[in-house]
Amino acid sequence: MTMAKMNRARKYTSSIIEEILKSIPPLQKERTKYRMLIAARIDDYLQEAGINKTELARRLSKNPSEITKWLSGTHNFTIDTLTEIAFELKVSIADLCMSKKEMTKKPDVTFIRITDTVSIKNPITPWFDPSTMPSYAMTKEPEILYGQQNENYA
């Protein structure tokens, strides 16, 4: 048996399991989904940084067993704990809450370049005389550029 087949989960159906899953309230399903997602993302970032659970525990002044609990996907994180973890892993808290799929959609940098300006009068209001209002420069639709910065837009 190849390694890919060994790691693949078997699909198992059971009427008992389906009944249990149907009885879980939607809010509880969502909580569980995010707890599991955050635990998986922390583990991903630990692997990317080459940090093991013991090292993260040392850096955060925690017991290694607490890190294991976090990575189990059942821990209810506080914002303070997520902030500490994100700080040590050099990522944002938002990064810990996004799936890998969502992360790949996120552009590296967003640049907006104003392509043209026009001069217009302020809109008419019942308490001002438009002819006495100063005019302002207003931009047309900005051009939004995604990706790496080009020297022309620096």
What domains are defined for the chain? 15-105 (1.10.260.40), 110-153 (no CATH)
pLDDT > 70? residue 120: no
Render the burial of 122-144: b for 16+ CB within 10 Å, e for the rest: eeeeeeeeeeeeeeeeeeeeeee
Say how many residues make up the chain.
154
State yes or no: pLDDT of 147 exceeds 90: no
Tell me phi and psi for residue 120, to 5 degrees.
-135, 160
| pTM: predicted TM-score of the whole model, two decimal places | 0.56
Which of the pair, 55 or 150, is modelled with greater confidence?
A: 55
**Measured between alpha carbons, how far is 140 from 113 in angstroms, rounded to an integer?**
11
47 pLDDT higher than 60: yes
Q: What is the pLDDT of residue 154?
A: 45
- pLDDT tens for each residue of 100-119: 777 666 555 555 555 555 55
pLDDT given for residue 65 in this prediction? 93
